[in-house]
């Protein structure tokens, strides 16, 4: 009981109790309106319990973070030297080239055509093809349904590809170049961001796990993950340095690239409140909260594009619902239907079992487990970012891309890295991630419904 008193204030305990009651009420209401098997209900309950564990471990840090003098920022490390950043940038470009070569080796081993053109075209078989179509032709207001529904893909990445295509006269190569350069840049920003709180060794370990986590090949592919990661990290880094205008402008670009960029509102707002309550000039700095309005402007620009193309600023929502079955739902509902599909595919479709449902379910639960283990080691604004992002991203009513969504979230791979601080644990976790990455990359090449 003494430990409980040290960790939780009375307002914190009240918030925890109300939050648990609300979460339990949502689960009970969901059970009453759903029809799943008993294992699926247990999976949903496990998801709720793990999510509650993350939140309970977050609340004390959150309360201290917003209390004057309750959270002391560590002295900032010296700015990262140009030499270390150049080495990180070159190393991550090397990682991209190595991953590209690894995918090519698996591609050849699977019996595909060996010529480079066929291999480049192979990369367009996933959502990459939609992004490259938009880069080349922009959004279409008439034509086949498959082209019209491309309106659901945000324009930030296609526009970057279109710009690079002016110099690289091949659409796939332009897309790959945008992704590779963005990923290398994201690694440099990540290092600078983590050095505000962690040692050089801890920051490099987080970079290693970013590369080792299963699904890291998505950063190499002509898709929006690398650019989104770069913009998200840039937003939070500039906010941490007190440059909220620049940070929120990068947040606007992130929300123009992926709708989940809107979630950046959460960590930036947390940092603004923290600064306001701990700064002698806090009251005079309240005007900086107006910068938060920049973050949704990027997504608002995307809605304007929807209107110009289709006459409806929210047309993407119709396409998501009708064509892909995507609506907002409960994250624990995702655990239920993914487990049911996992069990069903185990009997009838091993490709879907191994390539789709098993990786998705593993990431859904692994993200919560690592977040719960590391919640007291991570800055409160980062955990708040994780919680909000997880609720929205994993709450999709027909989620096929949990790994791809989670690898773009800094608090996720940071929590994995912090869970591996002991040498033996680091070796085991690194080996496990590397093996799983190889298997998942093979499933991607074999087109086992890896999205």
201-226, pLDDT tens digit by residue? Answer: 999 999 999 999 999 999 999 999 99
Q: Which residues of the chain have pLDDT under 70?
A: 1-6, 75-79, 280-285
Q: What confidence score (pLDDT) does residue 3 get?
A: 44
Q: Quote the Cα angle for 397-215-361, to 5°.
A: 40
Compute the distance between CA of residue 314 and CA of residue 293 in angstroms, rounded to an integer.
20
Question: Which residue has tokens 């080495």?
Answer: 87
**DSSP H helical ranges for 66-216:** 82-109, 116-122, 128-137, 145-148, 156-165, 171-194, 200-212
Gap between the Cα atoms of 412 and 406, Å rounded: 7
| Residues 373-395: tens digit of each pLDDT | 999 899 999 999 999 999 999 99
CB 360 within 8 A of CB 234: no
d(CA 107, CA 266): 41
For residue 330, what is the DSSP state?
Answer: -
**pTM for this one?**
0.95
Asked whether 378 and 414 are in contact (CB, 8 A), the reply is yes
What pLDDT, on a 0 to 100 scale, did the predictor assign at position 70?
A: 79
Helix ranges (H only) for 326-449 are: 331-348, 350-352, 358-374, 380-394, 402-406, 410-418, 423-445
Contacts 24+ apart (CB under 8 A), 432-437: 433/209, 433/212, 433/213, 433/214, 434/212, 436/214, 437/212, 437/213, 437/214, 437/215, 437/216, 437/217
φ, ψ for residue 328, nearest 5 deg? -75, 135
> Looking at residue 261, what is its pLDDT?
98
């Amino acid at each position: 009981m003494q430990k409980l008193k040290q960790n939780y204030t009375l307002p914190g305990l009240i918030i925890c109790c109300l939050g648990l009651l609300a979460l339990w009420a949502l689960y009970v209401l969901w059970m009453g309106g759903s029809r799943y098997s008993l294992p699926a209900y247990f999976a949903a309950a496990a998801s709720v319990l793990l999510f509650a564990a993350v939140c309970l471990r977050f609340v004390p840090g959150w309360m201290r973070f917003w209390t004057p003098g309750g959270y002391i920022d560590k002295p900032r490390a010296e700015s990262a030297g140009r030499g270390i950043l150049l080495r990180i940038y070159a190393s991550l470009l090397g990682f991209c080239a190595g991953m590209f070569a690894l995918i090519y080796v698996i591609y050849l081993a699977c019996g595909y055509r060996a010529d480079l053109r066929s291999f480049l075209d192979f990369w367009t078989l996933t959502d990459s093809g939609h992004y490259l179509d938009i880069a080349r032709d922009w959004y279409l207001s008439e034509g086949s349904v498959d082209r019209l529904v491309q309106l659901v893909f945000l324009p930030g990445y296609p526009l970057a590809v279109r710009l690079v295509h002016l110099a690289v006269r091949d659409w796939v190569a332009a897309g790959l170049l945008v992704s590779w350069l963005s990923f290398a840049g994201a690694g440099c920003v990540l290092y600078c961001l983590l050095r505000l709180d962690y040692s050089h060794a801890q920051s490099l370990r987080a970079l290693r796990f970013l590369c080792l986590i299963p699904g890291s090949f998505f950063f190499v592919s002509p898709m929006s993950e690398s650019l989104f990661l770069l913009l998200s990290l840039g937003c939070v880094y500039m906010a941490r340095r007190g440059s909220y205008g620049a940070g929120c402008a990068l947040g606007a670009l992130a929300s123009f690239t992926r709708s989940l960029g809107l979630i950046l509102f959460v960590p930036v707002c947390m940092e603004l409140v923290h600064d306001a309550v701990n700064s002698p000039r806090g009251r005079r700095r309240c005007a900086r909260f107006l910068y938060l309005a920049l973050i949704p402007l990027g997504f608002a620009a995307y809605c304007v594009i929807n209107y110009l193309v289709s006459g409806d600023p929210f047309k993407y929502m119709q396409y998501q619902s009708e064509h892909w079955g995507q609506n907002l739902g409960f994250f624990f509902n995702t655990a239920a239907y993914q487990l049911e599909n996992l069990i069903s595919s185990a009997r009838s479709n091993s490709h879907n079992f191994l390539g789709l449902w098993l990786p998705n379910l593993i990431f859904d639960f692994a993200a919560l487990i690592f977040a719960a283990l590391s919640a007291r080691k991570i800055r409160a604004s980062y955990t708040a970012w994780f919680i909000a992002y997880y609720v929205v991203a994993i709450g999709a009513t027909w989620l096929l891309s949990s790994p791809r969504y989670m690898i773009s979230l800094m608090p996720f791979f940071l929590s994995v890295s912090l869970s591996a601080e002991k040498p033996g644990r680091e070796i085991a976790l690194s080996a496990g991630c590397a093996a799983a990455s190889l298997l998942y990359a093979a499933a991607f090449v074999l087109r086992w419904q890896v999205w």
